[in-house]
Structure 1
Amino acid sequence: MRPIPPQTPPADTERYPDATPNPVKRTADQPVSTFSIDVDTAAYANVRRFIDQGQRPPKDAVRVEELLNYFDYGYAQPTSQARPFAVTTAIAASPWSPQGGQAGRQIVHIGLQGYELPAGEQRPLNLTFLVDVSGSMGSADKLDLAKQAMNLAIDRLRPQDTLAVTYYAEGAGTTLQPTPGTQKLKMRCAVASLRAAGGTAGATGMTNAYDQAQASFARDKVNRILMFTDGDFNVGVTDNKRLEDYVADKRATGIYLSVYGFGRGNYQDARMQAIAQAGNGTAAYVDDLNEARRLFGPMFDRGAFPIADDVKIQVEFNPARVAEWRLIGYETRLLNEEDFANDRIDAGEVGSGASVTALYEITPVGGPTQVPERRYPDNRIGVGGGDPNGEIGFIQVRYKQPGESRSELIQQPLTNRASAPVSAQPPEATRWAIAVAAFGQKLRDDPWMASDYGWDQILEQAQGARGEDPYGERAEFVQMIRAARDLPPRATP
């Protein structure tokens, strides 16, 4: 028997959105930070996949906000859907600053907790599965895993819910018309019949899925398409902008779209992020069955039942207290200051019980600034106006109730008196968020971390903030830090 020659691995065609780390900004020049919230967690599972394979993830695959938002921080809960968010804040010394403590840089931790809908307030679901069954999906970590995820979602359906199952390859089709949640066996048979072969007419499949969603559409339902794909649309319309426009137009009719990514080698993260954002949906990556169980088990309600649309956060820093600031992560979600009050500007959706975490690194006035001093005195950083012992900043959250066109506003001062020392032992939630942010920045080789703040310091930070860990997610993260520490350096092009 002739020996089988070694196989050449397929070319890596994975694509990620450009995400240059946010710069440090001088408060006197740019006091306002505005961004769309992001509850996606795709980057966390994808980073885990790379590390499990013994590889450093591409820098742009590491979206720090999606690592942060993977975890539950136990934020205070809002009490009513009429005001669906509660805001939690904390301030701590920046552990990677050359000078920690009061004289050094600090971390501002902002947590936004969404209202958790009781079962009686959850609207009926009108779901449509849109399944990529092209040849590129024909492996155990793609279509086979997607089928397991779909069956987990079917387990969650109630009698008042409906499900349709559609697919696309060279063309598009429907294996299940909208069917009530009482007929789970029929749903499972439709999923089991899916086979991978042929090209990838993603746009054709999308129009067919929207037709099925429209067939069972009602204003008092949650009308949502769940797309299962590796994102590789290689037949038909492939221009991101045109697909985004189509999905955005359908979003305006009340049908939202979420994307679940699978596989490796040709994973098209950039395309999937663009489509999910246009569809007012979430983007997640499923690297194994445990992640499928998480997304379609305890986390299912967060992706299925919206509590607010077009959620934006704006933070205005007080130049009397803050010389410089930078937002850690959210590079692909930044908005202009004037976009905040413009209800025509799209932003992120938040589901039942979901939370959003954001970290800023700030330099107090008199601290070790990173932007070089200017030549002319009138252009230099001054103390500025306002009460130096009062607010560090002002937080605003703007959101729309689901289906509404006019936004509502939540406002809250960010306070910490200048004479009060920064806590050496901030809340556990803040310490854990700092560890996760440090991990993400280290993987990306962000330029703002001190060179002597390494993996061992990140590991120590995480170990000291694990707290209660009922699902073992924090323990798994600690193991990821250890594994990342031992990875070979990233190859230079």
Structure 2
Amino acid sequence: MTDEFDALKAGLKAAPAPRAAAREEALARAMAEFDKLEPLAQGSASALRPKSDRPARAGLVERLTDMIAGLKLRPILTASTSVAALGLVTLAVLPNLDLRALRGPAEVSRVLDEAQKEEAVATLAEEAVPAPAPEPAARKVATPNSGVMADAAMEPEALVVAAPEMAMMPEPGQVLAEPSTEAYANQAANPVKITAEEPVSTFSVDVDTASYAIVRNWLNSGTLPDPEAVRVEEMVNYFPYAYPAPDGAEAPFRPLVSVLPTPWNEGTQLVRIALQGRLPAVVDRPPLNLVWLIDTSGSMEDPAKLPLLKQSLGLMLADLRPEDQVAIVAYAGSAGEVLPPTPASDRAAILAAMDQLSAGGATAGGEGLELAYKLAQKMAAEGEVSRVLLATDGDFNVGISDPDGLEAYIARQRDSGVYLSVLGFGRGNLDDATMQALAQNGNGTASYIDTLQEARKVLVDQLSGALFPIADDVKIQVEWNPALVAEYRLIGYETRALMREDFNNDRVDAGEIGAGHQVTALYEITAPGSPALRNDPLRYGAGAAADSVAPASEGEELGFLRLRYKAPGEDQSQLIETPVLAGAEADEDARFAAAIAGFGQILRGSVYLGDWGWDQAIALAESGRGADPYGYRIEAINLMRLARDLAR
């Protein structure tokens, strides 16, 4: 690039001074070329999408605009299409231009047109040098979303020269990666709490599984995941466990407590708290009214998005009952009803409507949600369950587009009794934060689907649990006994934390449990006097701890577990209580859950694991693998091995 730049400067110096008439002619033609950019500059900013939503463009300037937006450079040296029409080779300097705020050709054109138009045109005319039009030359360019270099002809209308330190054109064989706009919802890991100071821990249950599938996708692509993408509780709750189901006369779910030595810390113990939801017979469940809200924006064109989405929802149809109903709403630049409420038995009509869907346009997610909720409310009847099933990459940018705004909107809508679940598809612009805001405030769950096998797990194997709720606003509160537990740490659930007073407040929203669903939570606890204590005893006051305390005897109360839940459609919660007893026997499931919790903490870079690492996590998972009828556990063990190799 330096040689080209030097050659250009030498050519400019050797060129004869332009004639006055030629200057005027060049100025007029340059102004005409700039005026051609006006339609782009006049475009609505609200309709803009990231370049993954727009078809590939042949023009060099447009491709450079994409590169500029993706690379987020500051000052650039470029030439406009007006140079091409004049058959010129020249340089236009755009000083102090901050491209971080620019997205797409319309924004760049606006800056060119409004801020630099007069100066740039004058500069072009001043520096005009007659030059023969270059012959088109084959070269490689990066195509949007593909990551593959494709042959294209260099347009004769423009030649761009950049300063050597900020070369913008790809070298031969170079792939320009699509800039990632992924955003994840997470918080810092829960700290160790001192029981004497804060004996009560309160959180909302969580049965989402999106994080595990996203982590798996990262690892299978050959990269360790972003630590922010790892939510340990979602990884633990991805797997089925053999928990005992509640009897018919009992509450809709049954708690189970067990205690085992902490694998990564010899001086502490793990307390597993598990809930098993009741799974009624299929014939006993109420009819389902499902509104499939499908993102058909341009960003969904990737094979791992809309095409996989169609296949995934098609799998669900075989397990729906004739009295269930399905409607389809699609949204892109605007939202519309694709299929009116239709009996699930009419598979031909449903599949035909889905086949008509194609990707293109902006993402009017807010408008789509409004239409879907209205349709679901019209479909609802006494004793039936209505649910919006949103399938998207989460990238809303028209209408209600920020997580806070979506959270408030969904919070208002859940009072109608319509549930909302979210299915995430694809990578690159996956907006996990938006998906979490929607699912948590819509009394639903969030899942991520990257393969047809995952679609079968979520939408077929777990169909009833994913769609039919048995308890709403489920909250867990544990009071630890300071005589036997000096410190404790809740592993995961950072985004589900509640204030202590929220537990008895029925107006505070919490998690939903579906039919047959399971919930697993893990606490690491430390006895007074243990060498594993992380906090020194207080010098003054009742918080001062003894030098040593005998381990809790079997049957002693380590703590007390309280659960609150509401029956679907009810406003008043009910309470379940049970003690957390020392010596409660652990099993293979507890060991495997501990191994997955360790897996997630390693990926997050936890400071609580000491020297415990990949080999120990793999060995623990293998010891708790058990029957593994679906192969989920051996898949996790293989992912651990892969992560270990990638981390070396």
Given the two structures, how large is their TM-score scaled by the length of structure 1? 0.94
- Could you list the runs of 5+ residues in structure 2 that have no partner in the other structure? 1-136, 142-173
- 5 Å-filtered alignment, 1:285-296, equals 285-296=448-459
Which of 630, 635, 641 in structure 2 is aligned with 1:476? Answer: 635
Distance 2:273 2:384 in 1: 32
Kindly report which structure 2 residues correspond to 1:251-270, keeping only aligned pairs within 5 A, or say none: 251-270=414-433
Structure showing greater Rg: 2
| 2:560 is aligned with 1:400 | no
Q: Please tell me whether residue 151 in structure 1 is matched to residue 314 in structure 2.
A: yes
Residue in structure 2 matching 1:462, options 614, 621, 632: 621
Structure 1 match to 2:24: none
Classify the secondary structure of the residue corresponding to 1:131.
strand
1:55 aligned residue (203, 216, 223): 223
Alignment partner, residue 288 of structure 2: 125
Contact persistence 1:134–1:199 (CA under 8 A)? yes
Query: Post-superposition shift, 1:454?
Result: 1.1
- Deviation readout 1:398-448 (Å, 9 max, x if unpaired): 10111111111111001116xxxx97xx41111111101000000001111
In structure 1, the partner of 2:535 is 371
| Alpha carbons 1:81, 1:115 under 8 Å: kept | no
1:337 alignment partner in structure 2: 500
| Partner in structure 2 of residue 218 of structure 1 | 381
More deviation, 81-90/399-408 = 81-90
Quote how far apart the aligned CAs of 1:381 are: 2.9
More divergent stretch after superposition (133-142 vs 145-154) = 145-154
Look up the match of 2:112. none
Letter in 1 for 2:544: R
Provide the C-alpha distance between the structure 2 equivalents of 1:79 and 1:43, rounded to a whole number of angstroms.
32
State whether residues 471 and 512 of structure 2, in contact with CA within 8 Å, keep that contact through their aligned partners in structure 1: yes
Measured after TM superposition, the shift of residue 81 of structure 1 is 6.6
Deviation at 1:372, TM superposition (A): 2.7
Q: Select the residue among 445, 449, 454 that pairs with 2:609.
A: 449
Spell out the pairing of 1:165-176 with structure 2 (5 A cutoff). 165-176=328-339
User: Does 2:572 align with 1:412?
Assistant: no
**CA RMSD, 1 decimal:** 1.8
Written as runs of structure 1 = structure 2, the 5 A alignment for 1:303-314 is 303-314=466-477
In 2: Cα distance, 1:457 partner to 1:383 partner:
31
Q: Counterpart of 2:184 in structure 1: which amino acid?
A: Y
User: Relative to structure 1, is the Cα distance of residues 17 and 154 closer, same or farther in structure 2, using a 3 angstrom cutoff?
Assistant: same
Q: Contact 1:67–1:436 at 8 Å: present in 2 too?
A: yes
Distance in 1 (alpha carbons) for counterparts of 2:284 and 2:534 = 49
1:439 is matched with 599
Match among 115, 125, 140 for residue 4 of structure 1: 140
Are the aligned partners of 2:402 and 2:434 in contact in 1 as well (CA < 8 Å)? no
- State the shift of 1:158 in Å: 1.0
Query: Do the aligned partners of residues 106 and 176 (structure 1) sit closer, same or farther apart at CA in structure 2, a change above 3 Å counting?
Result: same
Q: In structure 1, the residue corresponding to 2:286 is in which secondary structure? A: coil
Cα separation, 2, equivalents of 1:83 and 1:258: 24
Distance 1:32 1:383 in 2: 24
The reply to whether residue 182 of structure 1 matches residue 318 of structure 2 is no
Give the letter aligned to residue 346 of structure 1: D
Q: Tell me which amino acid in the other structure corresponds to 2:261.
A: A
Alignment counterpart, residue 434 of structure 2, candidates 246, 256, 271: 271
1:377 CA drift (Å): 5.2
Supply the distance in 2 between the matched residues of 1:18 and 1:298 (Cα, whole angstroms).
28
CA distance in 1, matches of 2:262, 2:138: 62
What do residues 99-130 of structure 1 show as CA deviations (whole Å, max 9, x unaligned)?
A: x2xxx111001111111111232000000000
Residues 195-218 of structure 1 deviation map (CA, whole Å, 9 limit, x = unaligned): 000100100111111121122112
Counterpart-to-counterpart distance in 1, 2:473 and 2:442: 11
Are the counterparts in 1 of residues 377 and 416 from structure 2 also a CA contact under 8 Å? no
- Which residue does 2:209 correspond to in 1? 41
Q: Does the CA contact (< 8 Å) of 2:197 and 2:543 recur in 1?
A: no
Q: CA deviation at 1:383?
A: 9.8
Does 1:427 find its partner at 2:587? yes
Structure with more of its chain in helix, by fraction: 2
Which of 228, 240, 245 is equivalent to 1:72? 240
Report the alpha carbon displacement of residue 193 of structure 1 after superposing the two structures with TM: 0.7
Separation (CA, whole Å) in 2 of partners of 1:155 and 1:81: 31
Distance 1:231 1:413 in 2: 41
Look up the match of 2:129: none
Q: Tell me how far apart the structure 1 counterparts of residues 213 and 470 of structure 2 sit (CA, whole Å).
A: 25
Residues 447 and 134 (structure 1), Cα distance of their counterparts in 2 relative to 1, 3 Å cut:
same
Structure possessing the higher relative contact order (Cα contacts under 8 Å, 6 or more residues apart) = 1
CA distance in 2: counterparts of 1:125 and 1:262, whole angstroms = 24
Q: What's the CA shift for 1:388?
A: 6.3
* Equivalent in the alignment of 1:194: 357
CA separation in 2, counterparts of 1:358 and 1:460? Answer: 21
Any idea what SS the aligned residue of 1:440 has? helix
1:31 aligned residue: 199
- Shift of residue 231 of structure 1? 0.3
Counterparts of 1:214 and 1:191, CA distance in 2? 22
Structure 2 CA distance, aligned partners of 1:75 and 1:261?
28
Distance 1:481 1:388 in 2: 34
Q: Please give the alpha-carbon distance, in whole angstroms, between the structure 2 residues aligned to 1:431 and 1:18.
A: 25
CA distance in 1, matches of 2:602, 2:304: 28
| Alignment correspondent of 2:58 | none
Shift of 1:355: 0.4
Q: Which residue of 1 aligns with 2:88?
A: none
Contact 2:323–2:343 under 8 Å retained in 1 = yes
**Structure 1 CA distance for aligned equivalents of residues 139 and 621 of structure 2:** 49
Cα distance in 2 for partners of 1:172, 1:194 equals 12
Equivalent of 1:380 in 540, 544, 562: 544
1:89-104 to 2 correspondence within 5 Å?
A: 89-97=257-265, 100=266, 104=267
Matched to 1:263, the amino acid is G
Number of matched pairs: 476
Tell me what 2:327 maps to.
164
Structure 1 counterpart of 2:437, which letter? A
- What SS does the corresponding residue of 2:394 show, helix, strand or coil? coil
Structure 1 gaps of 5+ residues are none
Q: TM-score, normalised by structure 2?
A: 0.72
Q: Could you say if the C-alpha distance between residues 80 and 383 of structure 1 is closer, same or farther in structure 2, counting changes exceeding 3 Å?
A: farther
Kindly tell me: are residues 402 and 370 of structure 1, through their superposed partners in 2, closer, same or farther at Cα, counting changes over 3 Å? same
Q: CA deviation at 1:378?
A: 4.1
CA distance in 2 between counterparts of 1:50 and 1:200 reads: 25
- Seen in structure 2, the aligned counterparts of structure 1 residues 366 and 482 have a Cα distance that, compared at 3 Å, is same
**TM-fit CA distance, 1:219:** 3.2
Letter of the aligned partner of 1:163 in structure 2?
V
Which of 342, 349, 354 lines up with 2:512 in the alignment?
A: 349
